[in-house]
C-alpha cells in the first residue's frame, strides 16, 4: 500500500477579499491544497471576473477557474454589520487575503490593527499595484500597469514596433503566486513559533502572550506585502544588473533573446511553428548534425555562446531554411531523435489534444453551466505537484453567494432569524 495522502493545508481557513485576478489566484492555490477559502463578494454583483469573457454565458469560465475550491459568501463590506461579520470570520481564520488599493481596508474598518485585535494569530496578505508604502502606493494599478512598470512590456515585441503584452494576465497571476507563497511561509513561521500545546485560531493565546505567535504592537502575526509590479520585475533576471555594470539597456528582440542562439520559433513546411532551443555547445552540435550540417559545430564563427550570439541572423536563417523544407511533425521527430529541446507552438486545441498533458494530469475537469446545460470542461491543474499532499480537484468557482448560509451557520453559528435579518438589511 502507498503512503496515505493528505491535504497539506487542511484545517487552515482563508478569508479572501478583493476582485479580479491577483488575490483570487492566491486563494485558488491555497484552496487547491486543502485550505478552506471563504470568498467574500459584494451582494448582487460579485467578483468582477464573473463578467469577463463570458461568451454569452451568465458567468465566465475565468471565474469558474479562479474560484475553484472556494466557498462564496456575499457580504456588503460598506455596512457596519458586514464589517462585523468579516471580523467574526477572521476570529476563526488563519489568513485574510486582500487585493484593494492601499488604505481601502483601513477605510472599511478592517485594517491590520483591527484584524489583529480580533485575532492576534491572523496573517494578513496584501496585494496592490505598487505596494503598501513608497511614493506610488496610492496610485491605482492593474496588472497591465504592473507589466509596464515591471519592465516586461518594454522587452515584449519587435524592436521596430510598440511594446505589446502577452495574452494572459501575467502580472496579476505572478503576484498571486507570490502571495500564496508568502501566505504559506507566514503560516510556517507562525506555526514554528508556537509553544507546545498552543492551538491557535479557536484557542487564542491571551493578548499578553500574543508575541509568541509573532504579533507585535497590535499588528497581525505576519503581514505579506506583494506589489504587482515587483512580481513582474522579479522575472527580469539580470536586466538591471547589465545596465548597472555595462550601461546596457536590453531591447525588444521579437521571438528571440539577445545573445541566446539558436533559440527561436521556426516556420515549417505546413505553416506550423516549432520552437528550438539549441544555444548550449553540445546541443548545438546535435542540432547541426540533425539538420545535415555537422560542419557548423566545428566552424569557429559559431564556437561558443558569444560567437553564436553575434551570428544569430545567420544561424536562424540556416535553421529556418531547413525547417521550411519539413513538416512540423518531421521537425519534431528529428529534434526528439537528436535530443534537441523543441516543441510545437501550441494553441488551445493543441493543449487539449496533447497526450503528455493528459498523462501528467495537467488538466482538471469540472462540470460547469454552459448554454443552459452543463459541460465537463478542462482547467489547468494546480502547480506544484506534491507526492504526499497533492492538490485535489474540489469544485469549479461557485455561484454568487452559494455558501453564504453554510459558512455563516457553520463558522459563526448564526440562526435563521439572524440570517434573515442580515438579508433584509442588504448586508448579505
Is it true that the peptide bond before 24 is cis, omega within 30 degrees of 0?
A: no
Buried b (16+ CB within 10 A) or exposed e, 282-300: ebbbbbbbbbeeeebbeee
Residue with cell 529541446: 341
> Which string of DSSP letters, residue by residue, matches 341-397?
-EEE---HHHHHH-HHHHHTT-EEEEEEEETTEEEEEEEEPPSS--SSS------PP
Q: How far apart (Å, rounded) are the C-alpha atoms in residues 64 and 190?
A: 32
Which residue among 7, 47, 121, 172 is the active-site one? 172
Residue with cell 471563504: 38
Q: Give phi and psi for 207, each to the nearest 5.
A: -55, -35
Buried b (16+ CB within 10 A) or exposed e, 89-110: bbbbbbbbbbbbbbebbeebeb
- Contact call for residues 20 and 142 (beta carbons, < 8 A): yes
Buried b (16+ CB within 10 A) or exposed e, 231-258: bbbeeeeebeeeeeeeeeebebbeeebe
96 bridge partner residues: 15, 124
Does the annotation count 347 as an active-site position?
no
Provide the 3-class DSSP secondary structure of residue 157: coil
Q: How far apart (Å, rounded) are the C-alpha atoms in residues 41 and 137?
A: 24
Torsion of CA 237, 240, 244, 250, to 10 degrees: 100
- Contact call for residues 274 and 228 (beta carbons, < 8 A): no
User: Quick one: cell of 347?
Assistant: 494553441
* Beta strands 273-277 and 342-344, pairing class: antiparallel
Active site residues: 172
Amino acid at each position: 500500500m502507498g503512503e496515505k495522502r493528505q491535504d497539506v493545508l487542511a484545517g487552515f481557513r482563508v478569508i479572501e477579499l478583493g476582485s479580479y485576478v491577483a488575490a483570487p489566484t492566491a486563494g485558488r492555490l491555497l484552496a487547491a491544497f486543502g485550505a478552506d477559502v471563504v470568498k467574500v463578494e459584494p451582494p448582487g454583483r460579485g467578483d468582477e471576473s464573473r463578467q469577463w469573457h463570458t461568451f454569452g454565458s451568465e458567468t465566465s469560465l475565468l471565474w469558474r477557474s479562479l474560484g475553484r475550491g472556494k466557498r462564496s459568501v456575499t457580504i456588503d463590506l460598506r455596512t457596519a454589520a458586514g464589517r462585523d461579520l468579516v471580523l467574526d470570520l477572521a476570529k476563526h481564520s488563519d489568513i485574510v487575503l486582500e487585493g484593494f488599493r492601499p488604505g481601502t481596508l483601513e477605510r472599511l474598518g478592517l485594517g491590520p490593527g483591527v484584524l489583529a485585535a480580533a485575532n492576534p494569530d491572523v496573517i494578513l496578505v496584501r496585494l496592490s499595484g505598487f505596494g503598501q508604502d513608497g511614493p506610488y502606493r496610492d496610485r491605482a494599478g492593474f496588472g497591465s500597469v504592473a507589466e509596464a512598470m515591471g519592465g516586461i512590456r518594454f522587452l515584449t515585441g519587435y524592436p521596430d514596433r510598440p511594446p505589446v503584452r502577452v495574452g494572459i494576465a501575467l502580472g496579476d497571476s505572478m503576484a498571486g503566486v507570490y502571495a500564496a507563497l508568502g501566505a504559506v511561509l507566514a503560516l510556517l513561521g507562525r506555526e514554528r513559533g508556537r509553544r507546545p500545546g498552543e492551538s491557535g485560531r479557536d484557542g487564542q493565546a491571551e493578548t499578553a502572550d500574543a508575541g509568541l505567535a509573532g504579533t507585535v504592537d497590535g499588528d497581525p502575526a505576519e503581514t505579506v506585502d506583494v506589489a504587482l509590479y515587483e512580481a513582474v520585475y522579479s522575472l527580469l533576471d539580470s536586466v538591471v544588473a547589465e545596465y548597472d555594470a555595462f550601461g546596457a539597456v536590453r531591447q525588444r528582440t521579437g521571438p528571440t533573446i539577445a545573445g541566446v542562439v539558436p533559440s527561436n520559433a521556426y516556420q515549417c513546411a505546413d505553416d506550423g511553428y516549432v520552437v528550438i532551443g539549441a544555444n548550449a555547445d553540445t546541443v548545438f552540435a546535435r542540432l547541426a548534425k540533425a539538420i545535415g550540417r555537422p560542419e557548423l559545430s566545428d566552424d569557429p564563427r559559431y564556437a561558443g555562446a558569444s560567437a553564436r550570439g553575434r551570428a544569430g541572423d545567420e544561424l536562424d536563417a540556416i535553421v529556418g531554411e531547413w525547417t521550411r523544407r519539413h513538416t512540423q511533425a518531421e521537425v519534431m521527430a528529428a529534434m526528439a531523435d537528436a535530443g534537441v529541446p523543441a516543441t510545437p507552438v501550441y494553441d488551445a486545441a493543441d493543449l487539449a489534444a496533447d497526450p503528455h498533458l493528459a498523462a501528467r494530469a495537467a488538466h482538471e475537469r469540472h462540470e460547469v453551466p454552459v448554454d443552459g446545460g452543463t459541460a465537463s470542461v478542462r482547467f489547468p491543474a494546480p502547480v506544484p505537484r506534491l507526492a504526499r499532499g497533492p492538490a485535489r480537484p474540489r469544485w469549479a468557482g461557485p455561484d454568487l453567494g452559494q455558501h453564504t448560509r453554510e459558512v455563516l451557520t457553520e463558522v459563526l453559528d448564526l440562526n435563521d432569524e439572524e440570517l434573515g435579518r442580515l438579508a433584509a438589511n442588504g448586508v448579505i
